[in-house]
Amino acid sequence: MKRIAILGSTGSIGTQALDICRRHPEAYRVTALTAKSSREKLFDQVRAFRPEMAGLLDGIRQEEIPEDLRFCRWLSGKEALHAAAAETEADAVLVSIVGIAGLQSVMDALEAGRQVLLANKEALVTGGHLVMEKAKAKGLPILPVDSEHSAIFQCLQGAGGNQPEKILLTASGGPFRTWKREDIRKATRAQALKHPNWDMGAKITVDSASMFNKGLEIMEARWLFDMPESRIEVVVHPESIVHSAVAFTDGAVIAQLGVPDMRVPIGYAMSYPLRKTTGVPAPDLFALGKLTFERPDEDKFPSLRMAKEALRAGGAACTVLNGANEEAVARFLRDEISFGEIYDLVARALDALGGLPATCLEEIFEADRRARKVVKER
């Protein structure tokens, strides 16, 4: 039985991971659960899975814990994340919290010798070199949960040791794929949150609309698969059935297909190298009829160009891009800025801070803080 700690258990990834645990009680035991602020939802999860430890990042007082849930250890804030990642009994840690907060949790889990199931892009976007060095030193490969990176990982399992020539990173194109550039810049909050294929949290849905999500995934793929950005190609695929593909030197391309349901990549990471049922059907190719592929338009979606430039720049440029984007998206969701200003503010932060160093966690967190400050002061 695999013991699993879930950081971000009340979010989309966390709840689907628990659904898989519920389907396979003989295979998984949940030992720790953390959430940011959804206490009632977390209370229900603790009742159902009875972990050893639970925590709320926004804090909880002892008197606020229901009597029937005081059997487990309750913690608050960063202490809760550290305990879940590194102190409770766990074989694997699913890091599905949002933002740069995931970087410290990934490093804590690796230091404690736990397998990391990674659903947090920002850990590799901001500190990929540090994370991969630590994972290599500990002999613990990172198991990706993002659908695209899980697809690449699955394709590489059949490569027989052959090195890939190119990674083909698919993108749905989001809700604005066919829009004109000037219309995209004026898009409303409601329009940006209406993804055509995936049901996700607000931040990642906006990132999908701006295609910053795909820019972050280029960065993530660079570190996970030790592949320069020049050999990572984004392919717009509106049906979201081909989740990504790998091209090899002999001209062969291996792709992974599936319906757009995150339980498949979550389940594969949890059960690797085995496959267990997830409740998700295989795609019906006859019903699909056809699959389409397009080149991305970097004029309409400058996020892709900015991401590749940040990777080439090195240092803290990727951290600056990520922090500025997080802060800009938060402002957009509060109706403080327009959709187009997300691009403008990220570009401004990169111009101001793109040359900062990133040799340690302290420098990465400082670059993140300063990037957010640029966006807040706009």
**pLDDT tens sequence across 143-171:** 999 999 999 999 999 888 888 999 999 99
Dump the DSSP string for 281-301: PPP-HHHH-----B---TTT-
Candidates 310, 196, 303; CA nearest to 260 is 196
Cα–chain center distance at 11: 12
3-state secondary structure (DSSP) of residue 322: helix
pLDDT of residue 101: 87
Angstrom distance (rounded) from CA 280 to CA 190: 29
Taking 3-state DSSP, the helix, strand and coil percentages for the chain, each rounded to the nearest 5, stand at: 50, 15, 35
pTM for this prediction? 0.94
| Separation of alpha carbons 147 and 167, rounded Å | 14
pLDDT at 8: 97
What domains are defined for the chain?
A: 2-141 (3.40.50.720), 149-296 (no CATH), 314-378 (1.10.1740.10)
Q: What is the DSSP string of 6-56?
A: EETTTSHHHHHHHHHHHH-TTTEEEEEEEESS-HHHHHHHHHHH--SEEEE
Pair of tokens at residue 112 = 């404690």
Rounded Cα distance between 261 and 326, Å, is: 25
Q: Omega before 260 cis (within 30°)? A: no
How far apart CA 362 and CA 24 sit, in angstroms, is 40
Cα–Cα distance, 180 to 281 (Å, whole number): 36
What pLDDT does 198 receive?
A: 73
Please tell me the number of Cα atoms within 13 Å of 279 on its side-chain side. Answer: 13
User: What residues pair up with 17 in beta bridges, in sequence order?
Assistant: none
Question: What does the pLDDT read at residue 56?
Answer: 96
Do residues 121 and 131 make contact, with C-beta atoms less than 8 angstroms apart? no
DSSP-based three-state secondary structure for 264: helix
pLDDT tens digits, residue range 24-69? 999 999 999 999 999 999 999 999 999 999 999 999 999 999 999 9
Residue 61: is it exposed, middle or buried by C-beta count within 10 angstroms (0-12/13-18/19+)? Answer: exposed
What tokens does 257 get? Answer: 């297909």
pLDDT digit string (tens) for the chain, length 378 residues: 999 999 999 999 999 999 999 999 999 999 999 999 999 999 999 999 999 999 999 999 999 999 999 999 999 999 999 999 999 999 999 999 988 889 999 999 999 999 999 999 999 999 999 999 999 999 999 999 999 999 999 999 988 888 899 999 999 999 999 999 999 999 999 999 988 777 777 888 999 999 999 999 999 999 999 999 999 999 999 999 999 999 999 999 999 999 999 999 999 999 999 999 999 999 999 999 999 999 999 999 999 999 999 999 999 999 999 999 999 999 999 999 999 999 999 999 999 999 999 999 999 999 999 999 999 997
Residue pair 120/32 in contact (Cβ under 8 Å)? The answer is: no
Amino acid at 153: F
Name residues whose C-beta falls within 8 Å of residue 336's C-beta, 6 or more positions apart in sequence.
Answer: none
How many Å separate Cα 7 from the centre of its chain? 12
Residues 280, 285: Cα–Cα separation, whole Å: 15
For position 200, what pLDDT does the model report? 75
φ/ψ of 357, rounded to 5, equals -80, 165
CB 183 within 8 A of CB 88: no
Q: Is 2 exposed, middle or buried, given 0-12, 13-18 or 19+ CB atoms closer than 10 A? A: middle
Residue 169 and residue 148 in contact, taking contact as beta carbons nearer than 8 Å: yes
Q: What are phi and psi of 240, to 5 degrees?
A: 55, 40
